[in-house]
Amino acid sequence: MRTLLGLLLGLLVLATGAAIASERPDALGRRVDSIPQSVLLSQPATALVDGARQAGALRRAHWTVTGWILIQIFEAIALFYLWSSGGAAGLRDWLRKRVAQEWNVRFLFGAALALVARLAALIPSFYLYRVDRTLDLTFELTRWWLLYWAFHTILGMVIAGVIAAVVLGLVARTHQWYVYTIIAILAASVGWAYARPYVTLPDAHALFVHPPHSQVTVMVEGLPGSTPPEIDYLAAFELGHVVHGDALSIALIEGGVIIVFASIAVFIADRIRFRRDDDPLSRLAIVGALLALVYIVAVPVRNAAVRAYDFDADKYAVALTRDPGAAVRALVRSADERMIEVCPEWTARLFLYTAPGTGARVAAINRVPSACP
């Protein structure tokens, strides 16, 4: 355990030092800067963004959805094979012969399952990195990507190990284990929602600013060339989420989705015949495989449930800054720079975006049709 945590901290320090800013060509910023205010306030986003970048955004979305789904499928196949081949039972027995305390056995078994899943997903994960690298959306070198991958792998192993040890410990102690597990999931979701801004690595262009007419400090992810009014809008947008209590609402939605779909995975696993060498610990492998598959369904549900919150935050930000043109310019700049679809196709809307499309947000601000299909 100490070795894992030490390696985790070491990789975090190295990965933090490896952050590289992604700069877009100046021409993109100049094009957005040159759009007249009257045009910004009267046209849909489809008429404001760069056509070539939108064509690239469409390709990127197709490639990214493919890679994302492959990750879940590869993880499910690896974990199911580990269980069906008897490898999970063999690993359980091997650990119990060498580790005295059952809590530690459960922790190490959960960590091993996370490692198997991460290794199974390595190729599609690298593919997603190469998609962004090819489109010049990241300048991160392969060696640094591998370092980040190793860091997240160890972090995932620690989290999976703790979950396995705690949940199976509750199962062994009480028939009401699911009640405590539900409470723990909701508490973790809410805690992470409020802690995330303080523990995640900020974007290379992140700024901590005060929104107009407010003393609250919020972090905004600016872009190269963002004007002060755009920064004001982005800050006011984040403040809108704070004022409306969106972090708590979204956390409860995400926690609820986890509970429902994890329950579905456990329900299905209970109806799969036990092997002769099975026990609750070894069967974690098949539960993990089913979790990877139901995740494909859970993500669209989560995305649809949280998508509307950005509209209220936009409305709040525009009212606070009294500058809808800056809001539209910021959204157009983000769509161009980050190669985000203005009108997301249904697959991208299902799997990739928790926010509504830029086309819908600009249409709401300008009160014009979105011109999206």
Selection from 125, 29, 35 nearest residue 73 by Cα: 125
Give the per-residue pLDDT at 263: 94
Q: Tell me how far apart the alpha carbons of residues 210 and 212 are, in angstroms, rounded to a whole number.
A: 6
Find how far residue 244's CA is from the centre of its chain.
22
Q: Is residue 372 part of a domain?
A: no
How high is the pLDDT of residue 226?
81
Is 212 among the domain residues? yes
Looking at this protein, which amino acid is placed at residue 248? L
Q: Tell me, what amino acid is at 229?
A: P
With respect to residue 371, please indicate whether it lies within any of the assigned structural domains. no
Confidence bin at 2 (pLDDT 50/70/90): very low
Assess if residue 117 is contained within a domain. yes
Of all residues in the chain, what percent carry a pLDDT higher than 90?
70
Residue 300 falls inside a structural domain: yes
Dist CA 278 CA 291 (whole Å): 19
358, part of any domain: yes
Grouping H, G, I as helix, E, B as strand and the rest as coil, residue 206 is strand
Per-residue pLDDT, averaged over 342-346, amounts to 94
pLDDT in tens, 296-331: 999 999 999 999 999 999 999 999 999 999 999 999
In a domain, 267, yes or no: yes
Cα(307)–Cα(349) distance, rounded to whole angstroms? 10
Which structural domain range is residue 123 located in? 2-366
> To which residue do tokens 């030092």 refer?
17
Sequence-distant (6+) residues with CB within 8 A of 372 are 44, 46, 342, 343, 357, 359, 360
- Please state the rounded mean pLDDT for residues 198-215: 61
Tell me the C-alpha to C-alpha distance, in Å, between residue 152 and each of 80, 133, 157, 210, 301.
Answer: 22, 19, 8, 32, 25
- In the chain, at which residue ranges do the beta strands (DSSP E only) sit? 206-209, 218-221
Amino acid at 94: W
Number of domains in the chain: 1
**d(Cα 281, Cα 167) in Å, to the nearest integer?**
11
- Tell me: the pLDDT tens digits for 229-268? 998 899 899 889 989 999 999 999 999 999 999 999 999 9
pLDDT digits (tens, 9 = 90+) for 46-83: 999 999 999 999 999 999 999 999 999 999 999 999 99
Indicate the pTM of the whole model: 0.85
